[in-house]
Amino acid sequence: MGLKKTVKLKKELSLTDIIAISTGAMISSGFFLLPGIAAQQAGPAVSLSYLLAAILIMPAMFSMAELASATPKAGGDYFFIDRSLGPLFGTIGGIGTYLALVMKTSFALVGIGAYAALFLDIPVKFTAVTFGLIFMIMNIVGVKKASGIQKVFVLIIIVVLGSFIAEGFREIFFTGNKSGYMENFTPFLPNGFEGLVSTAGLVFVSYLGLTKIVSMSEEIRNPERNIPLGMILSLSITTVIYVLGVFVMTSVIPPEQFWDDLAPASTASERVFSLISPGAGTIFIVIAAVTAFASTGNAGLMTASRYPLAMARDRLLPGALGRIGRFKTPHISIIITSSILIAVILFVSEREIAKLASSFQLLIFMLINASVIVMRNSGIETYDPGYHSPLYPWMQIFGILSSFFLIIYMGWGAGLLIMGIGGLGIIWYYNYARKHTKREGAIYHWFALLGQKEHKALENEFLHILKEKGLRDGDPFGEMIVQARITDLGRKRVSFKSLVTDVTKKFAQDVDSADKGELKKEFLSVTAIDPALVVPRVSILHAKTGNIGQPVLHVVLSEKGVRKPVMKGEISSEDNIRVFFFLLSRSDDPKQQLRLLTRLMDIVERDNFVEIITSIKNHREIKEYLLHNERYITLLLEKGTATEEFFNKSLKEIKLPSDVLAAIIQRKDQIFTPRGDTVLRENDIVTIIGEPKGIKTLFNKYIHKQQPEQPGT
């Protein structure tokens, strides 16, 4: 029946995929390179700085999880900030996120150089620049990162580091040298609380890989569950490894040596792997380190180069940055990003790289937390997160304030840099981006409550995102279609107002205590989302009532068409409507109504939808067409087929898969919804709806099995 196909990024990433990607992106510089640098100001309490940084990143994590579950789109932080706070803050946020990723990638490449120098007499920065050029070429020609390989890499890293931690604790607590190792913890806080907190800001860069989950949210299966769960699990795994691993390094490496060490994990491994050859332990650590750095460096360059691409497509940056080369990659953006990355490696110290990366990201996290507050208060109906941040809005307020104070504790240099980036973003926006974009963020919807302007197009964009997300588990779309009233006007001419009056009367008959006047008023009103529901010759009208258990649908078909006048809004002309959908939903679940509406939009956008549905005269077939996907099957009960086993049995006696339901039965000219005691008869046509797995089981048993075997098979 000619379903319309839309091109989307494939949702191929599972929960284990995103845990591997995020964890692999986090466990690199923060473990293998940064601990010694961080210990210079935190002293032996450095492992607590890692724990504090993990706690302080949690508000941003919960906020990102909510935003990503509402708008699972490629672009991550930049997309959320732009669509909530508007293109001005989108420009600042995009630049800040871009620079944070560039700094983190530079740090990873320096790490490759530091660990390579353990075996090769080559300058650290020379190795880092060389790998930067290699990764630039790889990204230009389009080498893809396989999630399967990433999972293997992360498994190797976790096994090696788990062994390192276990061996470290054995060496510290069970070899008789405990008192000697504990001497390295005195004094515990040489620079006081200020040193602990400022170091937490410095090591914030260690957790930036967490944002990679949301940047790929468009490709994640079941994002409303897997994004928050994946973030929580990957942060938990990484925090345990950081805190325990850095504790081991602090214990076994003398402080003066630790502070100047760019490869502290390697140095510590020589002391903790006493049950095997210390040299072999060092080799294992170096392999894990180079694997982690290479994965982070290559993926970091790939991710960073996509931010100028996304901003160019939104017309915040020149269009040249959005160009795709012969290898189907944004080659100009990759080259510019690689050039900045190499300049950072050559002219900025390792400590300053970490501080700059953390500073930029703290700014982004402040904006992300603010974005959730704006979205919640915007009144945008189509903002429908499947996951809600706990302790709102106190979680977000704490996240904003803690990020601000971390920047202050990191010193005046970080604060000046943040103000400089903000100033640069403002100058660029007012001198370039503002002339090229008409878009505004959700904050204007919040202002609309105070009588200011709002940006209607944002409602439409979010509605299309809802359509891409699809129905949520528990949404009764199938049941609603099965129970739907269908009216075929044929060639009868009626006015739009009389049609609405007639449909409203029928709804009042079906729904106890429904107010006909209120229903009619709602069906005739135009809401902010209606412009996005416009399809030629089709009208989708909706209303809500508190006196209904489940949503109810009435479908009206007309061969001649019904002239529907436009009352207001962006719908600007009268249309001859041949297919009407009247949807009545529960007033206490408006988000479910939106999801049902977007599913109807998916259906009406099929190729030749109007011609096909108006040509079907059988109500069962109309409903099957509306349900048409992998979630339904129709069985004709005939003699000589596998369906013969259904004859003269009630539905409750028939063993169907647990995830399917017999929804419609057609018996001659009669169509009805069956009950458990309904007895099936020969020549009944049974429509079954349910989950794809159960439907496939029925297909293989009752339809595929009926096909005659070919000779010789």
Could you tell me the pLDDT band of residue 9, with boundaries at 50, 70 and 90? very low
Radius of gyration of the chain, Cα coordinates, nearest whole angstrom = 30
For residue 570, list its beta bridge partners.
none
Q: Three-class SS of residue 659? A: coil
Rounded Cα distance between 102 and 301, Å, is 7
Percent of the chain exceeding pLDDT 90 equals 18
The CB density around residue 322, as the number of other CB atoms within 10 Å, is 18
Check: CB of residue 506 under 8 Å from CB of residue 551.
no
Query: For residue range 599-610, what is the model confidence (pLDDT) as tens digits?
Result: 898 889 888 899
Closest to 442 (Cα-Cα) out of 506, 373, 392: 373
pLDDT band at 6; cut points 50, 70, 90: very low
The phi and psi torsions of 284 (rounded to 5 degrees) equal: -60, -45
Q: What does the alpha-carbon distance between residue 573 and residue 707 come to, in Å, rounded to a whole number?
A: 51
DSSP result, 415-473: HHHHHHHHHHHHHHIIIIIHHH-----THHHHHHTTT----HHHHHHHHHHHHHH-PPT
Asked whether residue 232 carries a pLDDT value surpassing 50, the answer given is: yes
Q: What top-level class would CATH report for the domain 630-706?
A: alpha beta
Amino acid 481 reads I
Mean local confidence (pLDDT), 387-391: 92
Helix (H/G/I), strand (E/B), else coil: 220: strand
What is the pLDDT at residue 578?
Answer: 93
pLDDT value of residue 76? 66
pLDDT in tens, 327-357: 777 788 889 989 999 998 898 887 777 777 7
First to last CA, the chain: 31
Residue ranges per domain, the chain? 15-353, 470-624, 630-706
Residues recorded for the chain: 713
pLDDT tens digit string along 173-209? 887 777 778 888 888 888 888 889 889 888 887 887 7
Measured on CA atoms in the order 258, 263, 264, 269, is the torsion positive or negative?
Answer: negative
Residue pLDDT, tens place only, 126-177: 988 998 898 888 778 764 444 455 677 778 888 888 889 998 998 888 877 7
Task: Report how far residue 276's alpha carbon sits from residue 250's, in angstroms, rounded to the nearest whole number.
Answer: 21
Distance CA 373, CA 379 (A): 11
Q: Give the pLDDT of residue 112.
A: 85
Higher local confidence (pLDDT), 418 or 679 = 679
Q: Is the pLDDT of residue 62 over 70?
A: yes
Rounded to 5 degrees, what are φ and ψ at 689?
Answer: -115, 155
Domain 470-624, CATH 3.40.930.10 — does that match?
yes
CATH number, domain 15-353: 1.20.1740.10
DSSP string across 84-95:
HH-HHHHHHHHH
Q: Answer whether 181's CB lies under 8 Å from 51's CB.
A: no
Q: How confident is the model at residue 458 (pLDDT cuts 50, 70, 90)?
A: low
- State the burial class of residue 65 (Cβ atoms within 10 Å of its Cβ: 0-12, 13-18, 19+): buried
Residue 58 · residue 239 · CB < 8 Å:
no
Give yes or no for a cis peptide into 476 (omega within 30° of 0): no
Instruction: Say what the pLDDT of residue 571 is.
Output: 41
The amino acid sitting at 169 is: F
Pairing label, strands 660-667, 552-564: unpaired
Higher pLDDT, 628 or 538: 538
pLDDT at 451: 40
Mean pLDDT score across all residues of the chain = 81
Query: What are the start-end ranges of the E strands in 615-669?
Result: 632-636, 660-667
pLDDT band per the 50, 70, 90 thresholds, residue 245 = very high
Question: Pairing mode, if any, of strands 660-667 and 670-672?
Answer: antiparallel
Distance CA 320, CA 343 (A): 22
pLDDT at 400 over 90: yes
Strand 575-586, strand 538-545: pairing: parallel
Q: How far is CA 150 from the centre of its chain?
A: 19
pLDDT value for 11? 62
- Give the pLDDT of residue 648: 92
Three-state DSSP state, 713: coil
517 — pLDDT class (breaks 50, 70, 90): confident
**Residue 16 DSSP class:** H
Torsion of CA 98, 100, 102, 105, to 10 degrees: -140
For 207, the token pair is: 């957790």
**503: pLDDT confidence band, cut at 50, 70 and 90?**
very high
Query: Binning pLDDT at 50, 70 and 90, where does residue 705 land?
Result: low
| pTM of the entire predicted model | 0.73
> At 73, which helix (H) or strand (E)?
none
Q: Which residues of 329-342 are buried (b: 16+ CB within 10 A; e: fewer)?
A: bbbbbbeebbebbb
State what percent of residues in the chain have pLDDT above 70. 87
Q: Which stretch of 200-204, 306-310, 401-405, 642-646 has the lowest confidence by average pLDDT?
A: 306-310
Task: Work out the average pLDDT over 492-507.
Answer: 90
Q: How confident is the model at residue 12 (pLDDT cuts 50, 70, 90)?
A: low
Is pLDDT of 235 > 90? yes
Nearest to 257 by CA among 589, 458, 35: 35
From 66-75, 383-392, 594-603, 643-652, the region with the lowest mean pLDDT: 66-75
Please list, in sequence order, all residues whose beta carbon lies within 8 angstroms of the beta carbon of residue 686, skipping any fewer than 6 positions away: 634, 635, 637, 646, 662, 664, 665, 674, 680
CA gap 422, 426 in Å, rounded: 6
* Residue 515: per-residue pLDDT: 77
CA distance 3 to 613: 12
Q: Beta-carbon neighbour count of residue 179 at 10 Å?
A: 7
Q: What is the DSSP letter of 680?
A: P
Q: Are strands 485-488 and 552-564 parallel, antiparallel or unpaired?
A: parallel
Gap between the Cα atoms of 255 and 262, Å rounded = 13
Contacts with 500 (C-beta within 8 Å, 6 or more apart), sequence order: 520, 523, 524, 541
Neighbours of 412 (CB within 10 A): 8
Amino acid at 620: R
What pLDDT, in 10s, does the model give residues 519-576? Answer: 888 888 877 677 767 788 999 999 988 778 889 999 999 998 998 875 434 444 568 8
Residue indicated by tokens 């279609």 = 481
> Is residue 5 pLDDT above 70, yes or no?
no
Residue 49 — very low, low, confident or very high, per pLDDT cuts 50/70/90? very high
Task: Identify whether the C-beta of residue 356 lies closer than 8 Å to the C-beta of residue 106.
Answer: no
Lowest mean pLDDT among 208-212, 252-256, 448-452, 541-545: 448-452
Triad 554, 555, 556: Cα angle to 5°: 120
Q: What is the pLDDT of residue 111?
A: 82
- The one-letter amino acid at 650: S
The answer to whether residue 47 scores a pLDDT higher than 90 is yes
Report which listed range, 254-263, 450-459, 699-708, is most confident.
254-263
